[in-house]
Chain A
Amino acid sequence: MSKREWLNFVDRLIKENEGEVIGVRARGSRFQYAPLESAEELRLDYDVTILPPKKYLLPTHEDLMTFDISKPFEVLANIDEGKRILLGVHPYDVLAIQQMDEIYLGTHRDEHYDARRKNTIIIASDILNVSERSFAGSLGTHVVETGFDLLVTDLGDTVAVTIGSEEGKRLLDTHSETREATLEEKKHVKRLRKELPSRYARKLKVDKYMWQKLLEENYDHPIWEENSKKCLQCGSCTLVCPTCFCYDVDDVMSLNLKEGRRVRTWDGCLLRDFTRVAGGEIFRENIKDRYRHRYYRKGLYLPMRNGFVACVGCGRCATQCLPDIADPCEIMNTLASFSMHEKVNFPIPDVKVAGVEEGLLIPEPATILRKERQTDMETLYEIRPDSGRRLEYRPGQFVEVSIFGVGEAPISIASSPGRDTFELLVRRIGHVTTKLDTMKVGEKIGIRGPFGNGFDVSGIAGRDILFISGGCGLAPTRSLIEYVLENRGDFGKVTILYGCKEPGAVLFGNDLQEWSRKNDVLVKKTVDQCGEGECWDGEVGLITTLIPPLDFDPERTISIVVGPPVMYKFVISELKKKEVPDENIVVSLERRMKCGVGKCGHCQMNGIYVCLEGPVFRYTDVKDMPEAF
């Protein structure tokens, strides 16, 4: 169509009721996606926008749901079904949107994203001007063949349109006069696309299929340390990235203390508190680790998980980084020139996802049936979903507990499956758990789940079982202990080792007593310290001291190790002294499992999502993960 006709087409889209038309407009000396008021405002000659069009599919701030805390349990999902047309999307951003689709819709479909995506029409545009820091030409992301409804190429006096979908064709037929492109025009389009890569000043010296190998071999490359010294940890590189998808969720209450919103906002792995859990641990505390993680996620972990390099070469990160250390092109070129060749493996365990896959973000109501105080800090809650459904879970899995107005927290299930109710042991340590502590029997909480990978109960059948639990680690372990004792005949020798700080901190005291009364279970317990005159019938010393005197068959015995982060290294080293093979050790790890469905990014441990592949792991699967212990 002619340029004039093109402008008319855009104006008609704006005026006709096809949805909100979002196009690329000037913002000072740069560009941004914003609602268009007339075709004149559209700037197809832009180089790159400050933020990617992602912001219309996964907004910077989004109310996932609204609730009213003056009612027992009232929540309303906030699904945006407004129709939108995104106009002028460059090929690399089209590809980035395809990646987002894979993440948000591939498994554990996100209904908020889904509704937006379904109602969004993409009118892509071939690149006229190359952004200074882009290297799309080297990645092959400067052109695109699918993923759009229409693709336009500005040829000067005319505009060529490639039809990508039925919906695109309908729009074109309804709102414009077009003719078949001439052979000359088709050639022109082809030539433009073909010549485009040569116009990029930035070029990758290494093929993108080599990124994985390069990263596997350079985990300890000096560049991570050197560059991270200059890093402001401002998060800009992740915030402007079209393929970054991590998010945070928080509850916001209005001042009338009735209505509230659960808000999802963009988050980024460069920020210090990204991996922080309620107890205060930060799992990627060092700036170097966070700086490196971004590159590994883009170039290694996501390619392993999803099959694509999570970088489309738009150059936004490099443009926005004040110290100029965020450019993947430069990093990869450096690694290619000075490779360390020290291969580290980052396997991702193949886990059949056991948890729920639908109704992901909106909690369901459940009632507190019983509260049993265990210690100053810990309380056991018996919970029943109001729907009456029986939670189908395996020992070791967890649920997300919601208290509207306060937030959500992951809590592992402490009771054995197969009942109408389940139990949670909760330590009063963060927002949600502190609030939960004040709630009474009969009050309602929200639950999502179960999530994650539990203990492989059939895989350990017939074996001797050695439980080693420290502190709160007894909660998920108890779920498995109960299961094992309920199916006692399926297992060999059962030994339970439990350790905690002091006699007053002992959890499940009654259960420990009951288990120890059984003549086919050996229970040993210890406390780190015991005050003068305190009543205590166990050992005094660290839990590791219980292992050497133990008599067990290392080949027949499966060790289940669950406890605070510091415990693993020492316990496992004691087990190794007993010549326990790695494959006989099972661990459960704590991370910040915010969403439970492998999207928010917080629980990631190298390539692993603890909320999907964990929290229970075979030791062999994680022992070489640098970030695991």
Chain B
Amino acid sequence: MQHFLTPEIMTCAFLIVGVVTAFLYGRGLATSRAQLTADSAGAHSLPSYHGYFSAWTVALLAIGVIALWVTFSGALPKFMFPTMMLGAIALGFIIINRLLTPTFRARNHVERFVGDALMICSGVAVLTTFGIVLSLVFESLRFFDQVPILDFLTGLNWSPQTALREDQIGQSGSFGAVPIFAGTFMITAVAIFIAGPIGLLIAVYLSEYANKRTRATVKPLVEILAGIPTIVYGFFALLTVGPAIRNFAEGFGLSVPTQSAIAAGSVMGVMIIPFISSLSDDVINAVPQTLRDGSLALGATKSETMTKVIFPAALPGIIGAFLLAVSRAIGETMIVVMAAGRAANLTGNPFEAVTTVTVQIVSLLTGDQEFDSAKTLAAFALGLVLFVFTLVLNVIALLIVRKYRERYE
């Protein structure tokens, strides 16, 4: 039994019991005192607000004790803390007893606290961004101490193996990231090459040709493609598409590895079809109906109306949609990890294995590693490049799309 009665457990139990009884006590106290003085207007706040206020007071004091504990955990004997917790709770009850008169504005205090708590919640999102930026920048700066930033951004040779022995030649590895950027670019290009026309045509077909029922069935089906986890696409590329492309190429006497830019890129293209189709659908539908009518009334066919009137009018929005899709493709990880390969080839041939920023981050950070080695830090530098690049793409895309919306609103 003593096993369970550690000072930690006791402190926690006191805390919970204290907060709950404080709530009940505060509420009860307010009720009875309000009844005693129920002469004219009655109490300012409902009893439950007095309860919340009491609970919050006790909890605040208890948090103070826990903070003390964390700071002085080594300096004081452990049994002190449950005692201090009890003391804090008792202090809380004395304060409650003093404050809770029927005229006490408990509700205002509680509401101010709620407002502050909500503000802290939205602060978490900001904190996350700061966390991302700081950790990426900080670790990248350490990386650039070891490898000059220019070598990283313009070097043509990527082989981040670190030496087993101190005296080995080339022990620092070579960190020229151009082959990685080229590979990322190529896979993204393949993906957009596939998803762009297909997604756009789907959007056009659904908004201009399909009847209501077709639209209601096809649209969710296409959007399923966006809900499939990327790991599933990755395995699909590895298990089915890669071998299929290899066999197909063999039919022409070509030798294509199972892991290739074309396999990863085409599967990624399938994944981003719904991004392009639903974003384009939105912008096409935002083009006013009067333009469609105007063109059709001149005797234009639907396709002429589409290509000559609606498409030029919707072009900025469609460009925005493509940029968002590009940013999505660049940041995608699992498909390329499984289907693109890991060798940093600098090649223009999509039928070869290439590697991408995300693949390299994964392969640098999985497996045994020392945290301070250039190899590990390189992953953060790549992460920083990825973050900045996708951020810029998104900001541009959102600006374009917003401007476009304003035009037709």
A binds B: no
List residues of chain B with CB under 8 Å of any chain A CB: none
List residues of chain A with CB under 8 Å of any chain B CB: none
